[in-house]
Amino acid sequence: MTLLAHPSLELDVRPRIGILESNRVVLQRAARVLRSASSLLDVAAESDPASLRALLSDRLRLLACDAADLDLAVEWASRRYRDLAVIACTSGAMDPLLEAARSAPAIVSMIGWPSFASMPRPWELALATRRIMDPGASAPRLSELFSWGAATVKLRPRTSHDRDVAVTEVTSLAERAGAPVRVAKRVGEVAHEMIMNAMYDAPVDAAGIPLHAHDRKRDVALAEHEAPTFRFAADGVHVALQIVDPFGRLERHHVLDGILRGRKAGGGGEVLDTSGGGAGLGLSRIYSQSTAMIVDVERGRSTSVTSFFDLDVSPRDARTMPVSLHLFER
Cβ neighbours, 10 Å, residue 221: 12
Residue 77 Cα distances to 121, 232, 293, angstroms? 24, 36, 24
Res 283: pLDDT: 93
Res 8: pLDDT: 45
The pTM of the full predicted model, rounded to 2 decimals, is 0.91
**Residue 282: partners with Cβ closer than 8 Å, 6 or more residues away:** 193, 196, 197, 201, 258, 272
pLDDT value at 4 more than 90: no
CA distance 78 to 176: 48
Q: Do residues 287 and 324 make contact, with C-beta atoms less than 8 angstroms apart?
A: no
Higher-scoring residue by pLDDT: 276, 26: 26
pLDDT value at 84 more than 50: yes
pLDDT value at 215 more than 80: no
For the chain, give the mean pLDDT: 90
Res 211: pLDDT: 72
Res 269: pLDDT: 39
CA distance 146 to 189: 22
SS3 110: strand
Please name every residue paired with 107 in a beta bridge, in sequence order, or none if there are none.
Answer: 86
Q: Which amino acid is at 194?
A: M
Higher-scoring residue by pLDDT: 115, 252: 252
Higher-scoring residue by pLDDT: 217, 239: 239
pLDDT band at 208 (very low <50, low <70, confident <90, very high): confident
> Lowest-confidence range among 149-158, 216-225, 286-295?
216-225
- Which domains occur in the chain, in start order? 13-133 (3.40.50.2300), 142-329 (3.30.565.10)
CA distance 128 to 294: 10
List pLDDT tens digits, range 169-189.
Answer: 999 999 999 999 999 999 999
Res 214: pLDDT: 65
Strand-strand pairing, 62-66 and 324-329: unpaired
SS3 232: strand
List pLDDT tens digits, range 227-278.
Answer: 999 999 999 999 999 999 999 999 999 999 999 999 888 744 344 444 444 4
Res 7: pLDDT: 46
**Residue 116: partners with Cβ closer than 8 Å, 6 or more residues away:** none
Res 280: pLDDT: 60
